[in-house]
Amino acid sequence: MYTSKKMIPKYMAYGLFISLLKINLVTSREMDLRPLHGNVFKADGVALQPDDAYHKIATMNKCSCKWMCFTSGRCASWSVSPEPSGNPHLWECRLSTLGPLNLTLSTDTQGTYYFFKDTVPAKYKARKDDLLYLEPDFKLDWTSAKAWCEKLPGHRLAIFKTRTQGNLLIHIQKALNVGRLTFDLQQVSNGKAWGDGTPYDGSDTDKHLEAQGVKVYDSTDPINDIYYLALSVDQNELYLWDGQKDYPYWFICQANPLGIDW
């Protein structure tokens, strides 16, 4: 269970964890999250495609669909959308045996999609910046890693824009004790920038990593257009290297359960 002191009173009181994700597009990064009962993520604005549901049924309320999934013994995710007939008193409940990583969700402004946290093959951890970090135990090339994170509604390949997050990046790299750990930092025409367009050069993170002795290596090869953090062989030094997108990296995703500016 998560250890963030700020989150323990809200989430541990229920004994289980839930995040509610309000998004406009399948890979949207905008979220309005609240704690609720259950070990489930909820995403507004998206829904299961009808062909991906093993069971579809009209119901008069959304809670009925939840309990159908909970008691089915095979349901991994579900969605609720307006009933196709147009009856304002009915919802269409769709159940799936698959989680979001194995689905292509459809945009549905009135739909809501739910999935169990256990359908994601990685560990979630709450960190001091009040974000959730997802730490897969496998490597992907950079483009695939970014797509993997964004396949989960409301998630993104990690971005570290503050001094606190710079500390977290160093801590996570050392705690995971992996080789090359990548995130959403790219080479752009005027330097480095995070995936949301925030400049890196001269930023709080840049200054903090430099103060912590992290050495930066930028090659002149245009194919090296993303970055990763690596430990030296003796684990005494950290390096921020530019690298190729098609190389396999360890990576981390972020989600925003408290709806903070991220």
User: Could you give the 3-state DSSP secondary structure of residue 137?
Assistant: coil
**Could you tell me where the DSSP H helices lie in 73-215?**
142-151, 163-176, 204-211
**Could you tell me where the DSSP H helices lie in the chain?**
8-11, 62-72, 142-151, 163-176, 204-211
Tally Cβ neighbours within 10 Å of residue 72: 14
pLDDT of res. 68: 95
Q: How far apart are CA 214 and CA 230, in angstroms?
A: 10
What's the pLDDT tens digit per position in 154-194?
899 999 999 999 999 999 998 888 889 999 999 998 889 99
Quick one: pLDDT band at residue 39, thresholds 50, 70, 90? Answer: confident
Residue 40 vs residue 2, higher pLDDT: 40
The listed range with the strongest mean pLDDT (42-46, 92-96, 185-189) is 92-96
Quick one: pLDDT band at residue 29, thresholds 50, 70, 90? Answer: very low
Full set of structural domains in the chain with CATH: 39-119 (3.50.4.10), 123-255 (3.10.100.10)
pLDDT of res. 223: 85
Residue type, 210: E
User: Could you give the 3-state DSSP secondary structure of residue 81?
Assistant: strand
Q: What is the pTM of this model?
A: 0.81
The encoded tokens of residue 250 equal: 């360890």
The encoded tokens of residue 115 equal: 């999935």
DSSP string across 121-158: SSEEEE-TTS-EEEE-SS-EEHHHHHHHHHHSTTEEE-
Quick one: pLDDT band at residue 38, thresholds 50, 70, 90? Answer: low
